[in-house]
Structure formats: structure tokens, C-alpha cells
């Protein structure tokens, strides 16, 4: 409740990206305190051959550059998925590019994969893995296409990121579902997706430190038949799993936020509770089609403990959140982690 009052009185009035930067700095600085305040008793689960402390983790997007993994874990997340990282550094889209729809506890973002680039992030992860805490941390690495790289060279671009980052990743995620890089979602068509996934899988399988599990992250806006086609492709290629789902480009009519505010936010991916029903529907469809043959990460609209339980009941092996963290505050990860047992 105290966080709600602080959010309403202070945070909601400030630029969302600036608040994110300040909050993230506080998380990094406060790790020794938060580790004690928000400790979660382990409930280990093995997924993709990796032992996770529990099933609940932080989705990609919050820590794009692997700058605060240990601080985030100290808040109660069982794993952190960093990124999205691209082969080359890029500034992302022009600001403002992050908007709150407070009445819906939602966010619109068109960040555009702003990140330091795979080489810099790999160096940072190398240093982190050189520490005892860093070696214990479960870290997923989410990779995307560099904006200036044409679609016909996408596979090589993803391979470059995978080559640099796989040695430090517990698992890799190929992100072809962000709406904020022009043409990226077109790569979800199986004829475009197959060469990318096959090329990255070759890198992940041949990693000198040992094979790295590989997951693909898809959009909620895919038609049902395309979800089936991607699922079949992932099974045929022998990938480890699917992350369902990313943000949506839809703007549902039942948003509580006044339409004028929604329109003023403009283009970008919408996240938050409004995404939950479709993300859950996609998750169920994949599990029904794949059976036990794939690891599924349930993400998108995860807001409270009931959402965590619903994803697990629908077949998710792991559950992730992000937007709920923004609105729920520092106690949110540990609360949801306890529901993920």
C-alpha cells in the first residue's frame, strides 16, 4: 500500500524512462538490504536441464545490458532474462518512447532494442560469471536483430550475438516478436524463421562451454494457425521451448484509459493485464499441440499470484513478469515467487 501511494503521488508524475533508470540504480545499490528483506525460500525446479530456485523470473526488457542481475535476484526473482541484446550497439528509438496507461496498470513501449551491443554485454557477463554469486545466478539472454541489418541477413546477425553471448547464458531466447524494430515480426513466418533458428541452434549446440538451451519468443498477435506452424517448426528443429508471449500491437476497446491518452502514446507494444487472456490462450494452444515436448515460458499480463498459478496450470514450466513489477513495487517479485511453487 505504501508503494501504491508513492507511485500515485510521485512516480506517476515523472517521465517513465527516467524513473526506470533511477529505480534500477537503487536496485543495484541496495542488493545487500533487499536480499534480506525479500528473501524467498528455494523451491528448486529443473527446466531445460537447468536448476532454477523457483519458477518465477523477470522477463527481458528491464535489464537490457546485464547491469543489475544480482540486485534483481535479491528482490526475489528466480532468474533474470537480460536483453534484448543486438549484435551491434544501438540507441533505440527517439524519446519519449515509454508511456504508462495507469488506469490499466499497462505500459506502451517503443524502445527499439536500445542496448550496448553483444560484445559489451558479453564482457559484462564474463565479469559477472567470474564471481561466486554470478556463477550461481540463472541468466537467460534474449537476442534480437540489429535495426540496420536487412531481413535477408538476419540469420547472420543473430548468429553473431549468439556466438558472443552463449558462453555466459544459461539459456538463449531468439526474439522475433518485438513490434519496435521495423520488419522484425515478419521473421515469425516459418519460411523466414527456420533459417534463423537453425543457424542460432548450431551455435548454441556447439558452444565450447557446453550446449545452451534455445527458446523462441513469439507475439500474441499471431493467428492461431501461425502459432501452430511455429510450434511445429520448433519441434521439428529440436529447439527447447517457446516463450509466449511478447507485447501486443492491439489497442483493445475495453481499456479503461481514456482513448485520447492511448492515442497520444502512439505506436509500440502494449503490456499489462490487458494482455493476459490472449497470452494464456496462446500458451494453452502450444501446450496442447506440443504435449510435453517443449519447455514453455508463460509471460505477458502476469500481474498477481493468481496469474502465476494460471500459467502453471496451463502448462508453463516457467513464468515471467515485467509490467507488474513497475506497478507492484519491490515486494512484488517475492510475492509472486511464493505463488510459483
Residues catalogued as catalytic:
178
Q: Would the annotation count 110 as a binding residue? A: yes
115 is in an annotated binding site: no
Q: Which neighbouring-strand residues pair with 175?
A: 217
Is 113 annotated in a binding site? The answer is: yes
Judge if the upstream peptide bond of residue 96 is cis by omega within 30 degrees of 0. Answer: yes
Query: Which has the closest alpha carbon to 50: 165, 175, 171?
Result: 171
Tell whether residue 291 is among the known ligand binding residues: no
Task: State yes or no: 293 annotated in a binding site.
Answer: no
Q: Was 66 annotated as part of a binding site?
A: no
Q: Classify the C-alpha dihedral 173-179-182-188 as positive or negative.
A: positive
- Closest Cα partner for 297 from 310, 309, 278, 312? 312
Cα Rg of the chain, angstroms: 18
Phi, psi values for residue 204, rounded to 5°: -65, -40
Cell of 312: 502453471
Residue 81 has phi, psi (to 5 degrees) of -100, 110
* 99 annotated as a binding-site residue: no
According to the annotation, is 93 in a ligand binding site?
no
Number of Cβ within 10 Å of residue 82's Cβ equals 30
Q: Is 60 annotated as a binding residue?
A: yes
86 marked as part of a ligand binding site: no
Which contiguous run of DSSP H or E holds residue 263?
helix 259-265
Is 240 one of the annotated binding-site residues?
A: no
Q: Give the annotated binding-site residues for substrate.
A: 64, 109-113, 175, 180, 246-247
The annotated binding site is made up of 60-64, 84, 109-113, 142, 175, 180, 217, 245-247, 272, 301, 322-323
Feature table: binding site for FMN: 60-64, 84, 142, 175, 217, 245, 272, 301, 322-323
Amino acid at each position: 500500500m505504501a508503494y501504491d501511494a508513492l507511485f500515485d503521488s510521485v512516480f506517476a508524475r515523472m517521465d517513465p524512462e527516467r524513473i526506470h533508470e533511477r529505480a534500477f540504480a537503487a536496485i543495484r545499490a541496495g542488493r545487500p538490504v533487499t536480499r534480506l528483506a525479500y528473501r524467498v525460500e528455494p523451491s528448486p525446479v529443473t527446466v531445460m536441464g537447468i536448476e532454477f530456485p523457483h519458477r518465477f523470473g523477470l522477463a527481458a526488457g528491464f535489464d537490457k545490458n546485464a547491469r543489475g542481475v544480482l540486485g534483481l535476484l535479491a528482490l526475489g526473482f528466480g532468474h533474470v532474462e537480460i536483453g534484448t541484446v543486438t549484435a551491434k550497439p544501438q540507441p533505440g528509438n527517439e524519446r519519449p518512447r515509454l508511456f504508462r496507461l495507469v488506469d490499466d496498470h499497462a505500459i506502451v513501449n517503443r524502445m527499439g532494442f536500445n542496448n550496448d551491443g553483444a560484445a559489451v554485454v558479453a564482457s559484462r557477463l564474463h565479469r559477472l560469471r567470474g564471481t561466486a554469486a554470478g556463477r550461481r545466478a540463472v541468466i537467460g539472454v534474449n537476442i534480437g536483430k540489429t535495426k540496420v541489418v536487412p531481413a535477408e541477413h538476419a540469420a547472420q546477425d543473430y548468429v553473431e550475438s549468439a556466438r558472443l553471448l552463449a558462453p555466459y547464458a544459461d539459456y538463449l531466447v531468439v526474439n522475433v516478436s518485438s513490434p519496435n524494430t521495423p520488419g522484425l515480426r515478419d521473421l515469425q513466418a516459418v519460411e523466414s524463421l527456420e533459417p534463423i533458428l537453425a543457424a542460432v541452434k548450431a551455435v548454441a549446440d556447439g558452444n565450447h562451454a557446453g550446449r545452451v538451451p534455445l527458446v523462441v519468443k513469439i507475439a500474441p498477435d499471431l493467428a492461431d494457425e501461425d502459432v501452430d506452424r511455429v510450434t511445429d517448426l520448433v519441434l521439428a528443429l529440436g529447439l527447447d521451448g517457446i516463450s509466449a508471449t511478447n507485447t501486443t500491437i492491439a489497442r483493445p476497446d475495453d481499456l479503461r484509459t481514456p482513448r485520447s491518452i492511448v492515442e497520444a502514446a502512439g505506436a509500440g507494444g502494449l503490456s499489462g493485464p490487458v494482455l493476459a487472456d490472449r497470452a494464456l490462450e496462446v500458451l494453452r494452444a502450444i501446450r496442447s499441440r506440443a504435449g510435453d515436448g517443449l519447455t514453455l515460458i508463460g509471460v505477458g499480463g502476469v500481474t498477481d499470484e493468481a496469474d502465476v498459478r494460471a500459467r502453471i496450470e496451463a502448462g508453463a514450466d516457467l513464468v515471467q513478469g515485467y509490467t507488474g513489477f513497475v506497478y507492484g513495487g519491490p515486494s512484488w517479485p517475492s510475492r509472486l515467487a511464493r505463488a510459483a511453487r
